[in-house]
Amino acid sequence: MSKGMSFFSRDRAALLLPIILVLCLTSRSNILPVADAIWLTIPSSGTKCVSEEIQNNVVVLAEYYVIDENNPDHIPTISARVTSPFGNNLHHNENATNGQFAFTTGESGNYLACFWKDGSHQQEAELTLGLDWKIGIAAKDWESVAKKEKIEGVELVLRRLQGTVEAIHGNLNYLKDREAEMREVSERTNARVAWFSIMSLGVCITVSVVQLWYLKRYFLKKKLI
């Protein structure tokens, strides 16, 4: 009895799993909207930019696609550009309905991704763009880790949780360093305010003394006093 049931469940699992995986991975179709992407609206004229402040040596993985349910045959195209905080062009794409880019950050700062409509579609209404932006631990390829270390199921899930915990620890250290930097700037500004205010009083007194001395000398010269 149990053997018969287990055979049935194995067939069902064998059927179910590929379907689930296919649905998960076909992010460009509208069968299963990908829940880990946000949608943005691109205005008819002008660009829509999103940015994130990312630290050094972090993996960034992103994918974008135009969503248009009205006319699936003639999907409007967009152009995209991703710039680093120093102004380098990391990704540039024109006349595309979808695209993806991946890079490791070389410097810490504000990374900007801008999207705009192509010239031929300027008059139409706003279009919707799906953006799937992952950095750091979220961008890690767990399938390759599972294959390399031959782990699966609950062990893989727990390994992912361990990765998340390590990322939390790293983030906490980063926040601590940032707070230390900011505290230094605050204390320096505090010292400067005190110093500059006292100096302002000194400058005021000096300037008035110089004034009086000069005027006295001038009037003595002119024989008025």
Partner 1 sequence: MEKRWGKMWTLMGLLLLNWVSNASSLSVTVNDVECVYEYVLYEGDTVSGNYVVVDHDIFWSSDHPGIDFTVTSPGGNIVHNLKGTSGDKFEFKAPRNGMYKFCFHNPYSTPETVSFYIHVGHIPTEHDLAKDEHLDPINVKIAELREALESVTAEQKYLKARDARHRHTNESTRKRVIGYTVGEYILLALVSALQVIYIRRLFSKSVAYNRV
Q: Report the site for partner 1 in 141-160 (rule: CB under 8 A).
A: 152-154, 156-158, 160
The answer to the question of residue 167 lying near partner 1 (CB under 8 A) is: yes
The answer to the question of residue 213 lying near partner 1 (CB under 8 A) is: no
95: left (phi over 0), alpha (psi -120 to 50) or beta: left
Place of tokens 């949780």: 161
Q: Which is nearer to partner 1, 95 or 208 (CB)?
A: 208
The answer to the question of residue 205 lying near partner 1 (CB under 8 A) is: no
Of 87, 105, 97, the C-alpha closest to 29 is 97
The answer to the question of residue 189 lying near partner 1 (CB under 8 A) is: yes
Smallest gap from residue 62 Cβ to partner 1 (A): 9
Which of 1, 31, 180, 185: binder of partner 1 (CB under 8 A)? 185
Which of 124, 186, 198, 220: binder of partner 1 (CB under 8 A)? 186
Phi, psi of 91 (to 5 degrees): -155, 135
Place of tokens 């799993």: 17
Other CB atoms closer than 10 Å to residue 189's CB: what's the count? 10
Of 68, 82, 73, the C-alpha closest to 129 is 68
Distance CA 105, CA 85 (A): 10
The answer to the question of residue 58 lying near partner 1 (CB under 8 A) is: no
The answer to the question of residue 59 lying near partner 1 (CB under 8 A) is: no
The answer to the question of residue 171 lying near partner 1 (CB under 8 A) is: yes
Distance CA 127, CA 75 (A): 10
The answer to the question of residue 161 lying near partner 1 (CB under 8 A) is: yes
Phi, psi of 198 (to 5 degrees): -65, -40
The H-assigned helical ranges of the chain are 2-25, 142-149, 154-221
The answer to the question of residue 164 lying near partner 1 (CB under 8 A) is: yes
Among positions 110-139, residues that touch partner 1 (CB under 8 A) are 110, 128, 132-135, 138
The answer to the question of residue 220 lying near partner 1 (CB under 8 A) is: no
Among positions 3-22, residues that touch partner 1 (CB under 8 A) are 5-7, 9-10, 12-14, 16-17, 20-21
Other CB atoms closer than 10 Å to residue 154's CB: what's the count? 8
The answer to the question of residue 224 lying near partner 1 (CB under 8 A) is: yes
The length of the chain in residues reads: 225
Which of 102, 125, 182, 198: binder of partner 1 (CB under 8 A)? 182
The answer to the question of residue 44 lying near partner 1 (CB under 8 A) is: no
